[in-house]
Structure 1
Amino acid sequence: MEQILIIQKVLNNNVVIAHHDTYKEVVLIGNGLGFNRKKGDSIPFDEADKTFLLKDENEMEQYVNLLPYIEEKLLIFIHELLLFIEEKMDKQLNEHIHVALTDHIAFAINRAKKEIQFSNPFLFEIESLYPKEYLVAKDVVTKVEERTGVSFPEGEVGFIALHIHSAVTDKSLRDINRYHALISKMVNIIEDNLDIQLEKNNIDYHRLIQHLHRAIDRAAKGTLLGEENKLAAMLKSEYPVCYNLAYKLIKVMQNQLNKPVDEAEVMYLTIHLQRLTHKF
């Protein structure tokens, strides 16, 4: 049965606020959705081929507050980009991306027009950890540049990839950025303690980053690896420098996350560290 909503307010040609029996007030976004409509009119929930529903009150309020600062043509273009991202990722996007990505792209365009450059210190790591999101983000940047005529710095691809990853995993950008900062801190500790300069294009560096990311994720979820006492004893005996460094890194991770970290992580991290010294 078709669900009919009652329009509370038409914000522009593409955005309306309507009454929903379950969510109360909701924001509906769709190309031409608000055209020639007014308060009190009925609107089928699934009228548009693709309509985004903002049902969270905080997200709705933030999105409505953004609208006066964004041109309608840009707003509907970003709406099209979100549909493109959803299609390419083949996953439903968390609704918070409407606010986050709309805000980010609008201000990124303004920065680019003013030639204000922003570096992204985690660009390589983002590409390594989220390759699919990174490729889709590159396509998004290309579309924005073609539509607006502005040129984005390479770092914008990484920032947009993080927004996409956040939207498909339901992880907050705050946590994602916190984890990247932790990985960066641990990489610096590794370089200092082993007195080496890690090469980011090296396959062992790529494996290390992947492992640190998975270890952080396991710690955040409370996942245990299981005990391997014989392997731990062998690694501690054969590679004491890397084993002790791995233990140190696990303690750093534990302090930063404020969560217990399975000490079995030390074994696997030791192996990755030993590879980096080219002695394993």
Structure 2
Amino acid sequence: MVIKQLINNNIAISIDAQGDEIILIGKGLAFGKKKGDEIDDLKVEKRFYLEDKGLYSKFKKLLQEVSIDDINIADDIISLAKRKLKKDLNESIYISLPDHISLAISRTKNGLKAKNGLLWEIKKLYREEYEVAQIAVQMINEKFNIDLGEDEAGFIAFHFVNAELNSGMNTITKITRFIKEILSIVSYQLNMQIDEESLNAFRFITHLKFFAQRIFLEEQNDVMDDPFLYEVVKERYSKAFIITQKVKDHISKHYSYQLMDMEAIYLTVHIQRLLERKN
């Protein structure tokens, strides 16, 4: 196969025998190469083809933000999950999981660990997914010589569950409606049309999916609030925080759900990303 587009020294886009674009990943496979050059098949470690063209576009953008090692370990974990869970996983997991793993590794190396306030519920409600996620965490720890801990196993399990949501149409309908409402509120308050094809919007929507799942499955929320962090975020991201309060009021009025302070922090950070993109 020949190179159609170069992403970096380790990633290139080519055309397969069926005429479809395919992403090829391997250490140094594109080093010193240019468009039209042949690719050494022996250097190809992973091949990616996503049927959803919108997700495919986001995946190409993600490849420029995360390392080849993050992509490889995420792909290995997704393959493991498919074998163990014996369920179809939405292609979106090829974006959300490597993105999450990359951030988790970065946080851990900087001495920051995210507390999973829903860990108990995840263990109880999604036992099989959590067991696979525990193996995934072990794989990541060994690969990168770090210690993610069981909280990250909970987060990874939630990514599996989220990728399975297409099997529950009633839940998907509710979540879709909920996300549309929140996006409309945020878009109106920002006075901008949110580019749902952007990576930041995808991250925001993924967060909303997790959040909506807690609401519609009526899962108890044991997230521990952090008053100091709440005040820091409130002051530092004041405009985004005001928008979060609008979202909070909407959710309280229409879904009888009281947003916890930590949930407000997460929403504010995501909205701030969209705000920075606007500016």
Call closer, same or farther: CA 1:131–1:82 in 2, change over 3 Å: same
Between the aligned residues of both structures, percent identity stands at: 28
Alignment of 1:103-122 (within 5 A): 103-122=99-118
Q: CA deviation at 1:62?
A: 2.2
Call closer, same or farther: CA 1:137–1:30 in 2, change over 3 Å: same
Verify the 8 A CA contact 1:8 1:40 in the aligned structure 2: yes
Call closer, same or farther: CA 1:59–1:140 in 2, change over 3 Å: same
Alignment of 1:164-203 (within 5 A): 164-170=160-166, 173=206, 174-181=208-215, 187=220
Distance 2:86 2:110 in 1: 35
Distance 2:92 2:120 in 1: 25
Distance 2:165 2:61 in 1: 26
Aligned to 2:23: 28
Alignment of 1:125-164 (within 5 A): 125-164=121-160
Aligned to 1:245: none
Aligned residues: 185
Distance 1:101 1:27 in 2: 20
Verify the 8 A CA contact 2:9 2:28 in the aligned structure 1: yes
Q: CA deviation at 1:39?
A: 3.5
Q: CA deviation at 1:130?
A: 1.2
Distance 2:126 2:75 in 1: 23
Call closer, same or farther: CA 1:140–1:129 in 2, change over 3 Å: same
Q: CA deviation at 1:81?
A: 2.2
Distance 2:24 2:83 in 1: 17
RMSD: 3.8
For residues 5-58 of structure 1, the C-alpha deviation after alignment (integer angstroms, 9 at most, x for no partner) is 87521435664334579996x443555795687644689xxxx89743123333
Call closer, same or farther: CA 1:88–1:60 in 2, change over 3 Å: same
Amino acid at match of 2:136: V
Q: CA deviation at 1:102?
A: 0.7
Tell me the TM-score normalised to structure 1 length: 0.53
Aligned to 1:256: 255
Aligned to 2:59: 63
Verify the 8 A CA contact 2:134 2:153 in the aligned structure 1: yes
Q: CA deviation at 1:182?
A: 5.2
Q: CA deviation at 1:141?
A: 0.6
Distance 1:184 1:119 in 2: 21
Alignment of 1:72-111 (within 5 A): 72-111=68-107
SS of the counterpart of 1:11?
strand
Amino acid at match of 1:256: Y
Verify the 8 A CA contact 1:62 1:99 in the aligned structure 2: yes
Verify the 8 A CA contact 1:11 1:34 in the aligned structure 2: no
Q: CA deviation at 1:143?
A: 0.8
> Which is higher, the Rg of structure 1 or of structure 2?
1
For residues 145-189 of structure 1, the C-alpha deviation after alignment (integer angstroms, 9 at most, x for no partner) is 11111111422111111111122333674334213145567x58x
- Segments of 5+ residues of structure 1 without an aligned counterpart are 189-251, 258-280
- Segments of 5+ residues of structure 2 without an aligned counterpart are 167-171, 176-205, 222-250, 257-279
Distance 1:118 1:53 in 2: 32
SS of the counterpart of 2:120?
helix
Distance 1:72 1:17 in 2: 14
